[in-house]
Each structure stands twice: as structure tokens, then as C-alpha cells.
């Protein structure tokens, strides 16, 4: 039986910013310089206690910062070692509100757990019910309202207040404005780690070890790609697991033969893929050594409150690359060299060279945008980035990742005076140009996934 050796587990995973390597990271010939961020997705898994003789096969997932954000799932073992099939259940008085990232991740993680926890390796469906709580740091979303406890209809006068970094939003999750920090990858990673830690003994899974992180990475990559409906580059999941790193993507063929949950033999294939005992299946490269920021320099994010349709932009750039193969290769090769030069400047602490290195990257990004017809660095973003270079303490900035109107990434002096100047400049800019541009509290950080103390979330956790 799959019991819960750890009745309550709390895990957090960071967001990301692809400082250098947008589009290039889709190709194994190139790399991306990705930094983890201090904004985290937090997931707490708790057991649901049942009365003697009562059996439930249900997992309840809640994101209480948003309206209508509760999902209930039933689960069963599919025939032919097909893994654990998860089905969303109707909540009385409400319509089905799907969450593909949560549902897919549950299927993958429970399928893995059902095999990892049985000896001999025979899948079991006796997974105890659990409640899962998801809390997102405020910087994942634009314009949060002041923090408050979710409405419960009970007297909360003696309830401890939750951490101020978890605001309540007066909208459903689907209506919230994301800032582009990689919430889906952080969610899948934190949810995967929390459930593994909840259901498996520490000797079977320990996220604080390299072996545990490798299992987590492989399982989260598989689940995230399935939830997206495509094989992505995976840099966002890698950052969520390992933190800041130099990343080379895995070959799409790694996931090519896995199949779908419910297909015959899926459980065994998933277990073999995740554990990769030969060490030869996953050909991704994740290098943390040498990825650093100079002392006194920080990565900061600037929200323009106008997200981009990343998938459409990527398709257009890749079509241009296929149509103009020789020209595109020459541009990408040179952009890779400039990206590596920026990484070396940061690694070597040569702050005086940051601005020129960033400008060189932006020059080629704009050229790629012009030739492909995709607004990777839109004119309004160019104007803002150029103006930001005039703020004392700002070394430069980029439109990270796939570009467009997601949050800008800035390299700045890490002190209060620079922060104050930035906030004053952005307030003036917003007033003069219209719209809203603001400095997010989030900063770049090196650490990836980590266990948290459950008591830090007591204002939100229900009694089991």
C-alpha cells in the first residue's frame, strides 16, 4: 500500500529568466543562460484523514489566491500497466474548470509513485487521498490586490495571517495577467516534488540530493511537455529544479517513445525513462559551475503588464529559420558567441563590460526580429530599454526568452539607491507614456527547488 510517510510536505520551485539564448535554446547546437528567480511557486501536500472503513480515491487541489480555483480528481490504475488515470470530478454547483498542467502532472507522478513504492515492481492503485495547496509569490502576476486570507465563512480573528507575499486576486486563475516568469514549469516541478516527498520515504526520494533532483527533473520534464502538448526546450523546468545554469536541451526523441497515460506498458516506460539507470537516455546538459553574477550586481525584472503569445512567435521564427537556413545559421552562431561573451563577463566580474555585451546581444535580437517579421524586441520595448540605460546603476537589459511584451530583465547595481531611482523613473515613464510599467520585487538567485517548512504556510493550510 502507498501510505503517506510524510503527512505534510512543502516544496517550492523558482521561476526563471532566460537572460541569453532565446530561440537558440530550442536547438541542441546552442545553449541558454538561464537564471532562477526569487519568486517561487509553493506546493503543500497533506494527507486527507478518513474514517475507519472508508476509502477514498481523490486528490483535492486548491489555489486559494484565485476565484473558483479548486479541482478534484479521481484516480484509478489503468489496465496493462497503463499507469494511473486521473479524471477531474464535478464540484457540486459548478462547471468543470480544467487545469491541464495539474491534471497531467498528477497522472505522471502517481503513475511513477505506483511503481516506485511497490516491491516487487508491480503497480498498485492503493494511493491514499491527499489535499494539495498551491501558493504563488505575487510577482508571477500583475497588479495584485493587498494580501488577505481566502474567504472561508468562518471567524478568522484568531487565524494567523499568511505571508504577505501571497496576495488574493479577485479573478479566476485563467483571467490573471502573468508576468512571464515561468509559472507553469515552477508549478509542475514543485507539484511533482511535493507529491514524491509526500508519498515516498526519504530513502526512495530526497530532493536535497543530486539523485533526487535528477529523478525530479526527468519526471517534471516529461509531465510538463505532455501538459503543453509538445516537446519544449525544457530550460524552464531545468531552472526550476537546478536553479541558475547554462542549459543545453535534450533531444526530442527522449520523450518520443513514452506514449500516453493509459497505453499498455506506460508505467514501465515512464519508470525506466525517469530513473535512466544507464545514464544514457537523457542527453541534456545542465551546468551550474561558472554561472554567476558579479558581487553587487543583481538581475531585476520590469513588468510591462502585457504578456505575449510565445507559441505563435516561436513558430514564426522557426519558419524564417527554415526558409533562410544559411542566413539564420550565421546570425545564430554569432548570437551564441555574444551570449557566451556575456556569460564570461558576468562570471569574471567585469562589470565595466556588461553594457557593451548586452548591447551586442540586443543588436542581433532586433536583426532576427526584423528578418523574421516577429516583434522579438518591439519598438516600445527598445525605447524603454534604451531609456533605462540612462538610469544610474543600470548596466543594461533585454527582452528575455522569446521576447515580446513579457517582463524585461535588467542587470543593475544591487542597492537601495538604484532601486529607488528605477522605481521613480518607471513611475514617470508610465505617466508620460500611458500604461503601467513597474519594477518587480523579484531578483535572480542561484538556488533551485527546495523543501520548505510547512508551518510557514499555516495561515493557508487547513487542518487535516
Q: What is the pLDDT of residue 143?
A: 61
Measured N-to-C along each axis, helices 310-323 and 325-347 cross at an angle, to the nearest 10 degrees, of: 120
Assess whether pLDDT exceeds 60 at residue 439.
yes
Residues 262 and 320 in one domain: no
Residues 144 and 30 in one domain: yes
Residues 321 and 371 in one domain: yes
Q: What is the CATH number of the domain that holds 130?
A: 3.30.230.10
Assess if residue 32 is contained within a domain.
Answer: yes
How far apart CA 24 and CA 317 sit, in angstroms, is: 11
Neighbouring CB atoms inside 10 A of 135's CB total 24
Cell triple for residue 91? 464540484
Residues 197 and 331 in one domain: no
Assess whether pLDDT exceeds 90 at residue 97.
no
Which stretch of 123-132, 165-174, 181-190, 350-359 has the lowest confidence by average pLDDT? 123-132
419-to-30, 39, 109, 165, 324 alpha-carbon distances in Å: 34, 17, 41, 19, 43
What is the sign, positive or negative, of the torsion defined by CA atoms of 27, 32, 36, 39? negative
Assess if residue 1 is contained within a domain.
Answer: no
Assess if residue 3 is contained within a domain.
Answer: no
Cβ-contact 12, 40 below 8 angstroms: yes
Is the previous residue joined to 120 through a cis bond, with omega within 30 degrees of 0? yes
Assess whether pLDDT exceeds 50 at residue 163.
no
Assess whether pLDDT exceeds 80 at residue 93.
no
Q: What is the pLDDT of residue 149?
A: 41
How far apart CA 106 and CA 192 sit, in angstroms, is: 8
Query: How high is the mean pLDDT of the chain?
Result: 89
Q: What is the pLDDT of residue 4?
A: 65
**In terms of residue numbers, what domain contains 160?**
8-288+451-457
The position carrying cell 503517506 is 4
E strand or H helix at 360: helix 354-372
Q: pLDDT tens for residues 175-234?
A: 888 888 989 999 999 999 999 999 999 999 999 999 999 999 999 999 999 999 988 899
Assess if residue 462 is contained within a domain.
Answer: no
Residues 308 and 265 in one domain: no
pLDDT bin (cut points 50, 70, 90) of residue 165 is confident
Greatest C-alpha distance within the chain: 69
Cβ-contact 279, 410 below 8 angstroms: no
| Number of domains, the chain | 2
E strand or H helix at 408: strand 408-413
How far apart CA 393 and CA 414 sit, in angstroms, is: 8
Assess if residue 64 is contained within a domain.
Answer: yes
Residues 51 and 165 in one domain: yes
Q: What is the pLDDT of residue 159?
A: 46
pLDDT bin (cut points 50, 70, 90) of residue 151 is very low
Q: pLDDT tens for residues 217-246?
A: 999 999 999 999 988 899 999 999 999 999
Average pLDDT (436-462) is 92
Cβ-contact 347, 291 below 8 angstroms: yes
pLDDT bin (cut points 50, 70, 90) of residue 120 is very low
Residues 302 and 264 in one domain: no
Residues 357 and 401 in one domain: yes
Residues 311 and 173 in one domain: no
Residues 100 and 227 in one domain: yes
Cβ-contact 370, 377 below 8 angstroms: no
Q: What is the pLDDT of residue 155?
A: 43
Residues 83 and 137 in one domain: yes
Assess if residue 463 is contained within a domain.
Answer: no
**Who contacts 380 (Cβ-Cβ below 8 Å, separation ≥6)?**
433
Residues 241 and 307 in one domain: no
Cβ-contact 154, 64 below 8 angstroms: no
Q: What is the CATH number of the domain that holds 357?
A: 3.30.70.890
Amino acid at each position: 500500500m502507498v501510505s503517506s510517510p510524510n503527512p505534510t510536505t512543502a516544496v517550492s520551485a523558482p521561476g526563471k529568466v532566460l537572460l541569453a539564448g532565446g530561440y537558440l535554446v530550442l536547438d541542441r547546437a546552442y545553449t541558454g543562460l538561464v537564471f532562477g528567480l526569487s519568486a517561487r511557486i509553493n506546493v503543500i501536500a497533506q494527507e486527507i484523514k478518513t474514517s475507519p472503513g472508508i476509502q477514498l480515491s481523490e486528490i483535492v487541489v486548491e489555489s486559494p489566491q484565485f476565484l473558483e480555483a479548486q479541482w478534484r480528481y479521481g484516480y484509478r490504475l489503468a489496465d496493462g500497466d497503463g499507469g494511473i488515470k486521473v479524471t477531474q470530478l464535478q464540484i457540486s454547483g459548478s462547471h468543470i474548470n480544467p487545469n491541464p498542467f495539474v491534471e497531467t502532472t498528477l497522472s505522471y507522478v502517481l503513475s511513477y509513485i505506483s511503481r516506485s513504492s511497490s516491491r516487487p515492481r508491480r503497480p498498485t492503485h492503493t494511493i491514499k487521498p491527499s489535499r494539495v495547496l498551491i501558493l504563488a509569490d505575487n510577482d508571477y502576476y500583475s497588479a495584485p490586490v493587498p494580501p488577505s486570507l481566502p474567504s472561508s465563512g468562518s471567524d478568522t480573528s484568531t487565524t494567523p495571517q499568511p505571508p504577505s507575499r501571497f496576495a488574493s486576486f479577485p479573478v479566476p486563475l485563467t483571467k490573471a495577467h502573468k508576468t512571464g516568469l515561468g509559472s507553469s514549469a515552477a508549478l509542475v516541478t514543485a507539484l511533482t516534488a511535493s507529491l514524491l516527498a509526500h508519498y515516498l520515504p526519504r530513502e526512495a526520494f530526497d530532493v536535497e540530493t543530486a539523485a533526487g533532483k535528477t529523478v525530479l527533473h526527468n519526471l517534471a520534464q516529461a509531465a510538463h511537455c505532455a501538459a503543453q502538448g509538445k516537446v519544449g526546450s525544457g530550460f524552464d523546468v531545468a531552472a526550476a529544479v537546478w536553479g541558475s545554469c547554462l542549459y543545453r536541451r535534450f533531444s526530442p526523441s527522449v520523450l518520443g517513445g513514452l506514449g500516453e497515460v493509459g497505453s499498455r506498458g506506460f508505467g514501465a516506460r515512464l519508470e525506466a525513462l525517469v530513473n535512466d539507470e544507464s545514464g544514457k537516455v537523457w542527453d541534456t546538459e545542465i551546468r551550474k559551475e561558472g554561472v554567476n553574477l558579479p558581487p553587487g550586481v543583481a538581475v531585476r525584472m520590469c513588468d510591462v503588464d502585457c504578456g505575449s503569445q510565445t507559441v505563435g512567435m516561436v513558430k514564426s521564427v522557426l519558419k524564417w529559420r527554415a526558409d533562410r537556413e544559411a542566413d539564420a545559421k550565421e546570425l545564430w552562431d554569432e548570437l551564441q558567441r555574444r551570449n557566451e561573451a556575456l556569460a564570461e563577463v558576468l562570471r569574471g566580474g567585469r562589470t565595466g563590460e556588461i553594457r557593451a555585451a548586452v548591447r551586442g546581444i540586443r543588436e542581433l535580437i532586433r536583426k532576427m526580429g526584423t528578418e523574421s517579421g516577429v516583434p522579438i524586441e518591439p519598438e516600445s520595448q527598445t525605447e524603454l530599454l534604451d531609456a533605462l540605460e540612462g538610469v544610474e546603476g543600470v548596466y543594461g537589459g533585454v527582452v528575455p526568452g522569446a521576447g515580446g511584451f513579457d517582463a524585461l530583465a535588467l542587470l543593475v547595481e544591487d542597492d537601495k539607491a538604484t532601486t529607488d531611482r528605477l522605481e521613480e523613473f518607471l513611475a514617470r515613464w508610465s505617466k508620460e507614456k500611458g500604461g503601467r510599467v513597474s519594477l518587480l520585487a523579484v531578483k535572480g538567485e542561484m538556488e533551485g527547488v527546495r523543501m520548505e517548512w510547512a508551518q510557514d504556510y499555516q495561515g493557508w493550510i487547513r487542518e487535516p
